[in-house]
Amino acid sequence: MDEKTLRVVTRAALEPLPGLLRDRGFTVVGPTIREAAIVYDEIESLADLPIGWTDEQGPGGYRLRRRSDEALFGYNVGPHSWKGRFHPSDVLLFQAQRNGRDVEFTAPPTESPPVALFGARACDLAAVAIQDRVFLGSASIDPIYATRRRGAFVVAVHCTQAGGTCFCESMRTGPRATRGFDLALTELLGAGEHRFLVENASERGAEIADRLASRPASSEDLAAARAGVERARTSMGRKLDTDGIRDLLYRHAESEVWDAVAHRCLSCTNCTMVCPTCFCTTVEDVSDLSREHAERRRLWDSCFTLGFTHLGSGSVRTSTSSRYRHWITHKLASWHDQFGSSGCVGCGRCITWCPVGIDITEEVGRLREAEGSRAP
């Protein structure tokens, strides 16, 4: 980032940003409050953001609290990630029509207006990059993902505070977003002025930023922005030691740690639903009563269900311990073999939204302990 090109936009001067994006054809999606949680949904204006709210997060716990200021981005990530925008939780794959003995298959139109992600955090942008590799990175490209992902505009927000379950610092994905955005904002609340440091990372980002009233960033602005990100970096609620983690998991394919976690795990699938990188799906085939018309839908699925590994001879992973082992081993170990990176970005959602508070960072710790106790 070239600090000389950074501009500062006041809170009032930021007001036109969602409209500028909409004028350029984007559906603007950003954080907003619904059912006492911050979710990502279509927003009309900055007024739709969770202004003056923050979130308290811990294992199995999430609460919104009022802040003492009117911050626009004074919280971390909620139960939604961006994956639902590009990899919908329920989507039609095809329709089949029977005409006598013939069957005709038709794909639904894949047109989708480009989306602007408003207020994307570094961990979530790392997750988008990971899903890009899953759905666009091999010989078979997923047309649904490709269509929705194409041309997406990203307004990133660098985190200036960390939540109770955050560990992006450990996964080296944040708290500062380094790529995958067109514009990035750092929210500055001190010095009597609510303002945003604005960084362009693309031509179209610059074109939009130029339309916002701004002044050059002062050295005080820059120092405040750096201090904000540093505050987030040093206040991570969780830590995960990633040293040799791939082999650590592989070495523990058989371990009593899995039985211990299975005593608590409800196999509820929450962790996989809120995970911004979990990509598994199933399909559902239905036909109408006349059996003339059928369709096939694709739905998010979870490796925590019994049916996930169903074969004619029964399911492969019948025990909860084997399913937890599969999930965490895929996330932290085999993902490296398959996609060249960890499958975990350190967003902490799986910890927060686990009804019994199972903590991925703690479980890795238990594996390291088990190893330590066995070493001579």
Partner 1 sequence: MLPVPYRVQRRRQESHDTFTLELSRSGSAPGLEFAPGQFNMLYAFGAGEVPISISGDPARPDVIAHTTRVVGGVTRVLSRLRRGGTVGLRGPFGNGWPLEQSRGRDVVIVAGGIGLAPLRALLYALTANRGRFARIALVYGARTPEDVLFGAELERWRTSADVEIAVTVDRATESWAGRVGVVTALLRRLSFDPANAVGMICGPEVMMRYAAAELLSRGVAPDSIFLSIERNMKCAVGHCGHCLFGPLFICRDGPVFPYERVETTLRVAEL
Q: Which residues here bind partner 1, judged by CB under 8 A?
A: 94, 96, 98, 101-107, 134-135, 138, 140, 142, 253-254, 279-283, 285-287, 291, 294, 296, 301, 303, 308-313, 316-319, 322, 325-326, 330, 333-334, 337-338
**Between 11 and 87, CB nearer to partner 1:** 87
Minimum distance of partner 1 from residue 140's CB (angstroms): 4
CA pair distance 100, 267, nearest whole angstrom: 44
CB of 299 to partner 1, least distance (A): 10
Residue whose CB is less far from partner 1, 2 or 104: 104
To the nearest whole angstrom, how small is the minimum distance from the Cβ of residue 208 to partner 1? Answer: 33
Q: Cβ closer to partner 1: 214 or 281?
A: 281
Q: Nearer Cβ to partner 1, position 100 or 376? A: 100
Report in angstroms how near the CB of residue 350 gets to partner 1 at its nearest: 16
State the nearest-atom distance from the C-beta of 142 to partner 1, in Å.
6
Nearer to partner 1, 68 or 290 (CB): 290
CB of 363 to partner 1, least distance (A): 17
The CB-of-264 to partner 1 minimum distance in angstroms stands at: 19
Q: Which is nearer to partner 1, 93 or 222 (CB)?
A: 93
Nearest residue (CB) to partner 1, 39 versus 370: 370
